[in-house]
Amino acid sequence: MLLRTLLVSAVLFVAPAVPANAAPGCSGYVALTYDDGPYAQFTRPLLAALRSARARATFFDIGTRAKEHPDLVRATARAGMWLGNHTWSHPFLTRATPDELSKEIASTQDELRRITGRVPTLFRPPYGDTNAAVAAEARRQGLDQVLWTVDTRDWTSPPTEEIVRSATSATAGGIVLMHDGYQNTVDAVPLVVQGLRAKGLCPGRISGGRAVAP
Ligand SMILES: [Zn+2]
Q: Tens digits of per-residue pLDDT, 65-111? A: 999 999 999 999 999 999 999 999 999 999 999 999 999 999 999 99
Ligand 1 centroid–CA 79 distance in Å is: 21
* Percentage of the chain modeled with pLDDT above 70: 89
Q: Tens digits of per-residue pLDDT, 75-86? A: 999 999 999 999
Q: pLDDT band for position 20 (50/70/90)?
A: low
Residue 54 CB partners (closer than 8 Å, separation 6+): 193
Domains of the chain: 25-212 (3.20.20.370)
In DSSP terms, 150 is beta-bridged to 176
Q: pLDDT band for position 124 (50/70/90)?
A: very high
Ligand 1 centroid–CA 62 distance in Å is: 8
Q: Which of 43, 31, 66 is nearest to 146 (CA)?
A: 31
Mean pLDDT for the chain?
92
Residue with the larger pLDDT of the pair 16 and 44: 44
**Confidence (pTM):** 0.90
Ion ligand 1, residue ranges at CB < 5 A: 35-36, 126
Ligand 1 centroid–CA 25 distance in Å is: 32
Ligand 1 centroid–CA 104 distance in Å is: 13
pLDDT for 90 equals 98
pLDDT for 24 equals 73
Instruction: Report the Cα–Cα distance between both ends of the chain, in Å, rounded.
Output: 36
- Active site residues per annotation: 35, 179
Contacts 24+ apart (CB under 8 A), 102-108: 102/137, 102/141, 104/63, 105/137, 105/138, 105/141, 105/143, 106/141, 107/63, 108/61, 108/62, 108/63, 108/66
* Percentage of the chain modeled with pLDDT above 90: 88
pLDDT for 15 equals 45
Q: Tens digits of per-residue pLDDT, 23-76? A: 678 999 999 999 999 999 999 999 999 999 999 999 999 999 999 999 999 999
Ligand 1 centroid–CA 13 distance in Å is: 40
